[in-house]
């Protein structure tokens, strides 16, 4: 459900677009799956969304983007496809002490796309990486600010504190939902960066470039799907979005 942080930004910027969202809860977390498995699931979900009439695809997951974005674009060359990548470039530009942290899944941190990001944008800064073990599961359960989550964050983020990073990349779409808790642990001296708003701007740009932007002034509708149990997923979606949510089960 991390991609809901991206849906939230897209909805704010593009209020007239209809949005289809697929939460692959039955196979979460992707960060502990193989790249081949994540690639298969991403292609399956893209096919489903295109059958629903989607005109543009957002792969609202850093792990899925690392594993499947290039293959997805090759499979559907006529469809505009927007992916995610950890915000290494803006973090390298924002850091004051030349030390940045990246909190992401293991698949993201070990992927070739991430290596290319470091080579291109972070050669003159120190980069500390930490796998965000357990955080996706906590967001999926809606456990955003419990004492257990704060205790886990204190332990997980300790390498960033020890290294003295002043800028932290939230390298999973789940992590923006933990931003208040992460900020509480790291303190006001650390800048937190994610890419949701930048992705929304890219979606707007591509819709305009391809002549696909909604012409009608009516408010857009959100259609939510889940591979999990809607009775379990719905309340957590509602909490993350801050409004009622009624996902439809779809394998």
pLDDT 10s digits, 58-73: 999 988 998 899 999 9
CB atoms within 10 A of CB 113: 17
Q: CA angle 138-140-144, nearest 5°?
A: 45
Helices 35-51 + 62-75 axis angle, to 10? 60
> Residue 117: which H helix or E strand, with range?
helix 112-121
Residue 221: predicted pLDDT = 96
For 87, the 3-state DSSP assignment is coil
pTM over 0.85: yes
Question: Phi and psi dihedrals of 94, rounded to 5?
Answer: -90, -25
Convert the pLDDT of each residue in 72-109 to its tens digit.
999 999 999 999 989 999 999 999 999 999 999 888 89
The dihedral over CA atoms of 8, 14, 16, 20, expressed in degrees to the nearest 10, equals -50
The average confidence (pLDDT) of the chain is 95
Convert the pLDDT of each residue in 161-218 to its tens digit.
999 999 999 999 999 999 999 999 999 999 999 999 999 999 999 999 999 999 888 9
Domains and CATH numbers, the chain: 4-84+196-249 (3.40.50.1860), 88-193 (3.40.50.1860)
């Amino acid at each position: 459900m991390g991609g809901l942080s991206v849906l939230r930004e897209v909805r704010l910027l593009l209020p007239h677009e209809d949005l289809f969202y697929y939460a692959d809860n039955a196979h979460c977390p992707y960060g502990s799956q193989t790249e081949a498995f994540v690639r298969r699931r991403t292609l399956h979900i893209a096919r489903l969304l295109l059958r629903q009439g989607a005109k543009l695809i957002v792969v609202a997951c850093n792990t899925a983007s690392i594993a499947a974005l290039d293959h997805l674009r090759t499979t559907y060359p006529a469809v505009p496809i927007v992916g995610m990548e950890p915000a290494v470039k803006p973090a390298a530009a924002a850091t004051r002490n030349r030390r940045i942290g990246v909190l992401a899944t293991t698949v993201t941190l070990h992927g070739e796309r991430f290596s290319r990001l470091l080579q291109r944008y972070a050669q003159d800064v120190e980069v500390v990486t930490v796998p965000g073990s357990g955080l996706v599961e906590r967001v999926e359960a809606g456990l955003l600010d419990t004492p257990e989550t704060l205790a886990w964050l204190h332990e997980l983020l300790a390498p960033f504190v020890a290294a003295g990073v002043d800028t932290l990349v939230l390298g999973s779409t789940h992590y923006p939902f933990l931003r208040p808790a992460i900020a509480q642990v790291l303190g006001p001296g650390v800048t937190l960066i994610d890419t949701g708003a930048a992705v929304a701007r890219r979606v707007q740009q591509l819709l305009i470039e391809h002549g696909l932007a909604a012409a009608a002034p009516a408010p857009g509708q959100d259609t939510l799907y889940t591979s999990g149990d809607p009775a379990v997923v719905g309340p957590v979606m509602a909490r993350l979005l801050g409004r009622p949510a009624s996902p439809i089960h779809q394998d």
